[in-house]
């Protein structure tokens, strides 16, 4: 479990999961983004050029919208791969899930009593998972079902990693039930 570390302090257990570090994907994204931005600059210049035909400007306007979505998606993925960290903090009576990227944090807290199940989820086929680096949350995750909702934690985890984390969370929750 190289990507996963666990610390315990009193009644609190913190599980930290770093994204899968694939330098090939990071290098590809950096080059792709560079040329994507250059291409977008040329398209934007053509869009604002008063000599361009109306149809061309409309086409480029739609293309620029899709270009922008691609830019944002790939930029987020690059930042996640380079600087991301996911934490599961198990505290008495609640589970806190944090996604941290460059000091920006998204936090979700769930009361322990609302949690129905915690299990390994998604595809654990390593060959398939290596090819699809844009779909992080359907591949090798931990599913936490609560209050008719599902929280997916981790991405591209090995089945043994996901099972071990799910067992750790389930064990902690069971211990808390015994105490309360």
Question: What residue has token string 């250059």?
Answer: 38
Rounded to two decimals, what is the model's pTM?
Answer: 0.75
What helix, strand, coil percent values describe the chain, rounded to 5? 50, 30, 20
pLDDT in tens, 34-52: 998 998 898 898 888 888 8
pLDDT in tens, 51-91: 889 888 899 999 999 999 989 988 988 888 889 999 999 99
What sign has the CA pseudo-torsion 78, 70, 134, 99? positive
Query: 132 φ, ψ to 5°?
Result: -110, 90
The pLDDT, as a whole number, for residue 123 is 75
pLDDT in tens, 120-170: 888 776 555 454 555 555 578 899 999 999 999 988 888 888 899 999 999
What pLDDT band is residue 4 in, cutting at 50, 70 and 90?
very high
**What does the chain come to in residues?**
180
The pLDDT, as a whole number, for residue 29 is 85
């Amino acid at each position: 479990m190289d990507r996963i570390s666990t610390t315990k302090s009193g009644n609190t257990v913190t599980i930290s999961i770093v994204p899968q570090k694939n330098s090939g994907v990071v290098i590809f994204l950096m080059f792709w983004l560079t040329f994507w931005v250059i291409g977008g600059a040329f398209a934007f210049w053509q869009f604002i050029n008063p000599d361009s035909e109306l149809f061309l400007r409309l086409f480029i306007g739609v293309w620029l919208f899709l270009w922008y979505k691609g830019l944002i998606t790939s930029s987020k993925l690059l930042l996640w791969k380079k600087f991301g960290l996911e934490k599961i903090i198990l505290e008495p009576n609640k589970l806190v899930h944090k996604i941290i990227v460059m000091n920006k944090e998204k936090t979700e807290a769930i009361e322990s009593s609302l949690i129905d199940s915690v299990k390994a989820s998604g595809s654990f086929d390593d060959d398939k998972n290596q090819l699809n680096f844009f779909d992080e949350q359907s591949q090798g995750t931990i599913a936490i079902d609560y209050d008719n909702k599902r929280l997916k934690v981790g991405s591209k985890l090995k089945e043994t990693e996901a099972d071990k984390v799910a067992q750790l969370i389930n064990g902690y929750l069971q211990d808390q039930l015994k105490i309360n």
